[in-house]
Copies of this chain bind each other. A is one copy, B any other.
Amino acid sequence: MERVYNFSAGPSALPVEVLEKAASELVNYGDAGMSVMEMSHRSDAFKVILADAKALYKELMGVPDNYEILFLQGGGSMQFAMVAMNLMNKNHKSDYILTGNWAKKAYAEAARYGDAKAIASSADKTFTYIPKVTPEMMRKDADYVYICANNTIYGTRFKPDGLPQTGNIPLIADMSSNILSEVYDVSKFGLIFAGAQKNMGPAGVCAVIIRKDLIGNAMDITPTMLNYKTHADNDSCFNTPPCYSIYICKLVYEWVKKQGGVPAMEAINKEKAAKLYDYLDNSKMFHGTVVPEDRSLMNVPFVTGNKDLDAQFVKESKAAGLENLKGHRTVGGMRASIYNAMPMAGVEALIDFMKKFEMENK
């Protein structure tokens, strides 16, 4: 069967070149005489893969030297606890900006470990916008301010020039669904984490960029495996890391670099997103659900306003080789996730299909 255009929100499409390379060396990697899956994580061969992955990620993200890069397990959901247990141990306060389900879950987890406060929310309009946050809204003694940089379900994002101005308070960001998609200045953050399975690799590895001075202050109750210091002290090899997932991330990093790095991805992503939003803005049948200024470049939710028509669209689009356009189970409607690996041709195929559907069902 032909490969489809996969608009899944996560796990998501990977560059076909990456998959082909992985397939070609799955049984026997280079001159190792074995698969990457079979390599001891303490072997020279795997150490090179890990070091390369780290160096490439550092380069692509422009990570300053006073930050550590960690490859951890448990996904973003584990980070919800790790962030709180490791960073909310000075004044035991943290400020959360609620822009969707994932921010809410992170907030709920933090509230179990200290005085977490929701300082802003866009729940009043079903998270269809990013709330304006001014410095006065933040507590001066908060241990950190937390955002979900891109909201996979609702299709909003904090733009690189629209981040909360937190001053000396570390800004923590969940970038699981927009990592490597446009240029963010890492030095503005205390910590950035990203589950790999949307824009960076397979599920099962979460890349954490953490400012070094934030490491080493975990609560006493923190499990050893949830202490950033454990992993920083052991270069992500305290125990066996998810080796094969890290290897696939490395291939994705190489692919991003070959495309021209994050600035080039940003240009392509803006073009892809503009094309789709432009169509939505002009369609008589479909419309986007997010205010224009806060639209995500990665996740584009849209509706017809008619549930039956939505269902028909999802069904027919699937038959046409456009997969996973159904909206999140908590929202309904449709959603096109157009991550880095989605080619322009995929976006064009979607728009063509929508036009045809609109004609046939008007």
Q: Which residue from chain B places its CB closest to the CB of A220 in the assembled complex?
A: B112
> What distance in Å separates the Cβ of A193 from its nearest Cβ neighbour in chain B?
13
Interface residue tally for chain A (C-beta within 8 Å): 71
Q: Point out the residues of chain B lying under 8 angstroms from A244, CB to CB.
A: 202-204, 244-245
Instruction: Tell whether A161 is near chain B: CB-to-CB under 8 Å.
Output: no
Given contacts A27-B23, A239-B76, contact A321 B1 (CB under 8 A): no
Instruction: Tell whether A39 is near chain B: CB-to-CB under 8 Å.
Output: yes
How many chain copies does the complex carry? 2
Q: Is the CB of A2 within 8 A of B33?
A: yes
Q: Mark A9-49, 1 if CB is under 8 A from B, else 0.
A: 11111101001101110111011111101111111000000
Q: Point out the residues of chain B lying under 8 angstroms from A248, CB to CB.
A: 37
Instruction: Tell whether A242 is near chain B: CB-to-CB under 8 Å.
Output: yes
Q: Is the CB of A78 within 8 A of B85?
A: no
Q: Is the CB of A11 within 8 A of B23?
A: no
Instruction: Tell whether A359 is near chain B: CB-to-CB under 8 Å.
Output: no
Q: Is the CB of A74 within 8 A of B74?
A: yes
Q: Is the CB of B239 within 8 A of A38?
A: no
Q: Which residue from chain B places its CB closest to the CB of A16 in the assembled complex?
A: B27
Q: Point out the residues of chain B lying under 8 angstroms from A3, CB to CB.
A: 27-28, 33-34
A residues apposed to B, CB below 8 Å: 1-4, 6, 8-14, 16, 19-20, 22-24, 26-28, 30-35, 37-43, 73-78, 80-81, 85, 109, 112-113, 195, 197, 201-205, 221, 223-226, 238-245, 248, 321, 323-324, 329
A-B residue pairs in contact (CB < 8 Å), sample of 15: A1-B28, A8-B40, A8-B43, A11-B38, A13-B38, A19-B37, A26-B26, A73-B74, A76-B239, A81-B225, A81-B226, A202-B242, A221-B221, A244-B244, A245-B245
